[in-house]
Amino acid sequence: MNLRNRLQYMKRLCTAHFVTNAVLSVLFLVLRTIRPFCTIVFPRAEPECNLEWRESNILMFLICVVVIKNRKFPDVMQFVKILFSLSKVANFLLFFYSDLRLAIVYSVLCLLVVLIFPEPAFKGPENITYFKGEQFFEELENNPRTTWMLECYAAWSPTCQRFASVFADLSLNYSHNHFKFGKLDVGTNDKLAKRLGINTSGTSLELPTLILFQNGKPVIRRPVKNNKGKVIPFQFTMGNMIRDFDMNVIYEETKTKAQKKQEKKAEALGNNENAEEEKKDK
């Protein structure tokens, strides 16, 4: 991860959404073990200002789940989101076992944070072309030799919103004249969604859908469906995208083609100049 990306991550992590979620993730531990909170919130708890055996087991189980969930080394933001989600579930269970009223209050706090401090939309550098209607298919017809990585998204989809920063980073690291990145909003266009075979309902697991086009035709798609037509869930992390779409291989192949094309143009230009000089000499 380069310095620019690190600064972007740090800037996003310092927003109200992530700060409040961090507080909620450690709230039970703080209230249960630190004075004077522990004596006020848990006046009858034994041992005083210390975790019970059951509470310690829940926290250990949380650590194990986090390790298992992140065994494929997701990107930083994905790790933070998984950690926050699992931590809040563990906090709810801990409050529930201690006092049902505390669990209800904690649930209300989580709901308020979601409503008041939603995850900020990605605002950063990118090298992405945004298409409307049939523009993308017209681009394929006009320039079929260009390789396209297309994200079919819906603006209202939380998964698409979370994936925005990953797709932007990919576009900055891999795009060039012969390998381009595009986004197409299928959430407001049922015709386009049907043409691309994407279910855009509120419970859909196909948002976003990533399609790699080469020579004007789709060659790789994520997520995919099994033989029964059921969508196989896909984790849209940086590592998974690079691996499943062979990004490094495609980048090198398209880069080589671009260089050969430039060399041919340069050679043709040189031949034309030589021909003009010969005419002048005559």
pLDDT of residue 281: 59
CA distances from 181 to 78, 171, 174, 253 (A): 22, 6, 9, 16
Strand, helix or coil at 147?
strand
User: What integer pLDDT is reported at residue 26 of this predicted model?
Assistant: 94
Question: Is the CB of residue 241 less than 8 Å from the CB of residue 234?
Answer: no
pLDDT at residue 279 in the model: 60
Q: What is the pLDDT of residue 239?
A: 87
pLDDT at 43: 85
Please identify every stretch of the chain with a pLDDT value under 50, giving residue numbers as ranges. none
Can you give the pLDDT at residue 25? Answer: 94
Degrees, nearest 5: CA angle 146-151-153: 150
Model's pTM, two decimal places? Answer: 0.63
pLDDT for 266 equals 53
pLDDT in tens, 205-261: 899 999 999 999 999 999 999 888 899 989 888 888 999 999 999 999 888 875 666
How many helical (H) and strand (E) elements, i.e. helices and strands, does the chain have? 11, 5
DSSP string, 89-101: HHHHHHHHHH-HH
Residue whose structure tokens are 């990107």 = 75
Q: Reduced to 3 states, what is the DSSP secondary structure of residue 143?
A: coil
Residue type at position 158:
P
Each residue of 32-53: pLDDT tens digit?
Answer: 999 889 889 988 877 778 888 8
3-state secondary structure of 189: coil
Output the pLDDT for position 106: 96
Q: What is the DSSP string of 207-260?
A: SSEEEEEETTEEEEEES-B-TTS-B------HHHHHHHTTHHHHHHHHHHHHHH
Phi/psi of residue 226, nearest 5 degrees: -85, -175
* Best CA proximity match to 12, nearest among 134, 126, 124: 124
